[in-house]
Structure 1
Amino acid sequence: MPVIERPPLPPGPFLVLGLARSGVAAARALTDRGQRVVATDARTVSDEVRAALLAMGAEVRDGEAGADLLDDIATVVKSPGVPREAPLVATALIQGVEVIGELELGWRLLENEFIALTGSNGKTTTVELIGHIHRTAGLPVTVAGNVGTALTSLPGTLDPDAVVVCEASSFQLEDTFAFAPDAAVLLNLAEDHLDRHGTFENYRAAKLAVFAHQPPGALAVVPAGLALDDAGGAATRITFGDGAGPDLAHRDGTLYWRGERLLAAAEIRLRGPHNRENAMAAAGVCLARGLDPAAVREALRTFTGVAHRLEEIATVGGVAFVNDSKATNVASAEVAIRSFERGVHLIAGGSEKGSDFAPLAEPVKARCEGVYLIGETAPRLHAALTSTGVPIDDAQNLERAFAHAVAAAGPGDVVLLSPACASYDQYRSYEERGEHFRDLVAQLT
């Protein structure tokens, strides 16, 4: 399909705000193009990051937050972790300085066909599955964005025919203004990140920005059951879901593409009905773009998933250990629990995001034998789950929760780490939390 033309870069000089992975990549992309860059972060950066920034010609002013950082600056490039309410961002907007995100900057610098995917749950699994489908079809592809590889690190490194598959978070999308992917996918929408966005309406609006500027000829892949008439943009709608109506439909245990049988749902390698929906979204965007149905079928049969997403670590003494540390919100943990029929020993809890934990009560009551709570949200989780009658253990930390779950579990049971919360109270990332769980399992074998 033809690639949507990108607008030019905004004017420089640039202030790059936030010097984690995406901020450093954005600074490099700009200095490589001869732009003057001032790089700043509220915290002092490491010696390694400082040396890299200085070597590329950026002016490093870490640990500063004053308005004088904006002197002579025409555009601020904001890392996704920096909220728009941050004082320096607010001052820039008042002064008429353009503020864009690293996602928009990277998209403008690339000339490749571009697929953007967002949603509350399943993003990483699904972008990796789309990449797997392309590789199975023998097509060049690069997976980037919120999944790990900063988008602005890609310009100048790709095969011109490579497709970029980009995971886009609400934090990234809220800083887009012309962003118009050739194909955009929305997996689902559930309450998340209210600590950042304030209301579900604001969060929803950030997600739907993925469609807002798509022109005719682009593709917008959406769940059939989600009312998105106001999503914006002019792209062709492709739907996925249950019943006879969607383009990619599931009915009677079989997936169909526009009425033609694709494969039996049981052939999909990934566990759980939520992963069936992820697979349908991935297949839908690939088939709508003309990929070979045989390659799509083969990829759905062979894709085993990614780390920290319902990752089956081991079975020890008949007990399965499953790492779902990426379940950083309630909806994600709910579908994880429902992926098992019974005998679940759930480890949950973490840092506070203002979520409502009440929706966990029904699946916990139906599927769990015990719940082991960790982190700062443990008291609220305990209150939300007390009515289930399932034993609740306020274990405080993962090591103690794991030990108690192992002691209680028997053959045929599952010890499931699916926290329903972010990790920042006790870990630097959900990956670190998941690796700790892996290490604890390894000690049993």
Structure 2
Amino acid sequence: MAVLLNLEPDHLDRHGTFEAYADLKLRIFQRQGAGDTAVVPRGFGPVPGKGRRVEFRFDDPLSAEPRIPGPHNRENAAAATAAARAAGIEDDAIAEALRTFPGVPHRIELVRELGGVRYVNDSKATNVAAARRALASFPESRLHVILGGRGKAEPYGPLAAAFKTGDRAYLIGEAADEIAIALDATGVPYVMAEDLGSATAEAAAAASARDVVLLSPACASFDQFDDFEARGDAFRRLVEELR
């Protein structure tokens, strides 16, 4: 069984074009035979291989709602449900998993709530599409979003468009100037921070009860950290030290 959650621009700095990236990603289905299963978003185009096609969509009926927030996580839950049902797993077991699965580190991970402010580690958001999904996960909260790192040759206009009125960005890393241009074009306020530590401190100082301080960089971490896990761990330590 192979599952495709989505296909959006990523790693363009490495692959050159979206078409080249898409071709490589879809190879997951290439060697499937008639006895295999290809789980894909509803309406997605043809995929290689001969696997039996099973489709999902974010608004599919589920046996239970997922514990973790965000419309993209409901879409993930729909994909997991489709795959589990295709594998013969009963709905009661699927429902229990959806209700209890807490998520994984660095993906919309609630680190702490302090003074009514939630601090969320989404360091795994290393591209624009992932960061946009993170921003959409908190529609009722004012966001203080830490962005930046090493860019992947993506435009940042779609990211800037995902900010609500009242949200603010804190920019770090090599891509900070490029992100700032996109934010200027849409009127999103931002702070140019020296590094993750200063960005976290400034966001914490500006946040008030019911706000969310969100690390969702939309960039790779390699300009300042070994990987996204190291970046997320550093954010977690900074948040735990706040008083």
Q: CA deviation at 1:369?
A: 2.3
Corresponding residue number in structure 2 for 1:217: 35
Which amino acid is 2:4 matched to? L
Q: CA deviation at 1:367?
A: 5.7
SS of the residue corresponding to residue 210 of structure 1 reads helix
For residue 375 of structure 1, the aligned residue among 173, 186, 190 is: 173
The question of 1:425 aligning with 2:223 is answered yes
Corresponding residue number in structure 1 for 2:52: 236
Query: How many equivalent residue pairs?
Result: 242
Corresponding residue number in structure 2 for 1:363: 162
For residue 310 of structure 1, the aligned residue among 104, 108, 124 is: 108
SS of the residue corresponding to residue 423 of structure 1 reads coil
Aligned partners of 1:344 and 1:367 also within 8 Å: no
The question of 1:404 aligning with 2:202 is answered yes
Q: CA deviation at 1:344?
A: 0.2
Alignment of 1:59-70 (within 5 A): none
Which amino acid is 1:291 matched to? I
Aligned partners of 1:344 and 1:369 also within 8 Å: yes
For residue 280 of structure 1, the aligned residue among 78, 85, 90 is: 78
Aligned partners of 1:346 and 1:370 also within 8 Å: yes
Which amino acid is 1:418 matched to? S
Q: CA deviation at 1:274?
A: 0.2
Greater than 4 Å deviation, 4+ residue runs: none
SS of the residue corresponding to residue 372 of structure 1 reads strand
Q: Please, what TM-score do these two structures have when normalized by structure 1?
A: 0.53
Two-structure CA RMSD over aligned residues (Å): 1.2
SS of the residue corresponding to residue 49 of structure 2 reads coil
Corresponding residue number in structure 1 for 2:153: 354
Distance 2:31 2:72 in 1: 28
Aligned partners of 1:338 and 1:367 also within 8 Å: no
Aligned partners of 1:241 and 1:277 also within 8 Å: yes
Structure having the higher strand fraction is: 1
The question of 1:202 aligning with 2:20 is answered yes
Alignment of 1:172-191 (within 5 A): 183-191=1-9
Distance 2:76 2:18 in 1: 22
The question of 1:290 aligning with 2:88 is answered yes
RCO greater where, 1 or 2, for CA within 8 Å and sep 6 or more?
Answer: 2
The share of aligned pairs that are identical, in percent, is 51
Q: CA deviation at 1:368?
A: 5.0
Which amino acid is 2:40 matched to? V
Distance 2:194 2:174 in 1: 8
Distance 2:56 2:92 in 1: 19
Q: Please, what TM-score do these two structures have when normalized by structure 2?
A: 0.96
Which amino acid is 2:31 matched to? H
Which amino acid is 2:145 matched to? L
Deviations 1:174-230 (A, max 9, x none): xxxxxxxxx000000110001111110000000110111111111000000322x2x
Aligned partners of 2:183 and 2:189 also within 8 Å: no
Aligned partners of 1:340 and 1:367 also within 8 Å: no
Q: CA deviation at 1:396?
A: 2.6
Listed as ranges, the gaps of 5+ residues in structure 1 are 1-182, 243-248, 256-261
Distance 1:192 1:225 in 2: 21
Distance 1:367 1:311 in 2: 24
Corresponding residue number in structure 2 for 1:392: 190
Q: 1:314 to 1:274 in 2, by over 3 A?
A: same
Q: CA deviation at 1:436?
A: 0.8
Aligned partners of 1:240 and 1:280 also within 8 Å: yes
Alignment of 1:54-203 (within 5 A): 183-203=1-21
Deviations 1:113-151 (A, max 9, x none): xxxxxxxxxxxxxxxxxxxxxxxxxxxxxxxxxxxxxxx
Q: CA deviation at 1:308?
A: 0.5
Aligned partners of 2:13 and 2:153 also within 8 Å: yes
SS of the residue corresponding to residue 68 of structure 2 reads coil
Aligned partners of 2:35 and 2:52 also within 8 Å: yes
Which amino acid is 1:285 matched to? A
